[in-house]
A and B are shown apart, each in its own frame.
Chain A
Amino acid sequence: SQTIHQWPATLVQPVGSPLSLECTVEGTSNPNLYWYRQAAGRGLQLLFYSVGIGQISSEVPQNLSASRPQDRQFILSSKKLLLSDSGFYLCAWKGGYNEQFFGPGTRLTVL
């Protein structure tokens, strides 16, 4: 069966510091992968998606970037965090019938 992992689970970072969040998927190959952000009082927002290694599409211009160095690894990064980057970051993969499955999430607090 397929499993999706995210780490770290929680992170507290100062403004201006770098960021690296990791997502890995097990039990499937060449998955479509997604990064979403859930901010307080707002719905989930799609940030990036990837259909394969090195292929990244950005949905929202922002302070963040994404990379896919391996087939089942998706990384979300920032060079300098802003207060507005705080939120709950969720990674997802797309299975059969275009159903999306989500990981456990990373809670990011920028102080």
Chain B
Amino acid sequence: KQEVTQIPAALSVPEGENLVLNCSFTDSAIYNLQWFRQDPGKGLTSLLLIQSSQREQTSGRLNASLDKSSGRSTLYIAASQPGDSATYLCAVSYSGYALNFGKGTSLLVTP
């Protein structure tokens, strides 16, 4: 079974800290990996997409890395802000059409 696990389930940090969210997957034969942000009661916002041939992607204060051999991806958030508070979801595609989601990490950045 192709499982995606996100650790920790919840995280609280003071404003300004750099932080890392983790995602692991059991099958390394991935097509791509996508990180999303979900605000309470809202849809998903795509943050970063990493193709299987890539090692990392960056967008502003966000950096996502991919290590297929170890079955891991990390999302690094620099200089966190209260507006970064949300649930962050990792999703792995093995086929190019369906996404397998982790249960997410709920992030709270306190002022």
Contact = CB atoms under 8 A, between A and B. Distances in A.
Interface stretch (A67-75, A77-85, A91-99): A91-99
B43 A102 contact: yes
A97 B32 contact: yes
Interface stretch (B14-22, B68-76, B97-105): B97-105
The dominant DSSP class at the B interface is: strand
Contact of A99 (B4, B43, B46): B46
Dominant secondary structure at the A interface: strand
Interface string A81-111: 0000000001010100111111111010000
Interface residues of B, number: 24
A25 to B, nearest CB: 13
A44 interface: yes
Interface of A: 6, 32, 34, 42-46, 49, 59, 90, 92, 94, 97-105, 107
Contact of A105 (B32, B42, B96, B102): B42
A107 B41 CA distance: 8
Contacts of A49: 97-98
B93 interface: yes
A43 B103 contact: yes
B63 to A, nearest CB: 17
Q: Report the 9 A-B pairs with minimum CB-CB distance, sorted nearest first.
A: A102-B44, A44-B101, A43-B101, A102-B43, A104-B43, A99-B49, A43-B103, A105-B43, A98-B96
11 contacts: A34-B98, A43-B102, A43-B103, A43-B104, A44-B89, A45-B101, A49-B98, A98-B32, A99-B49, A100-B99, A105-B42
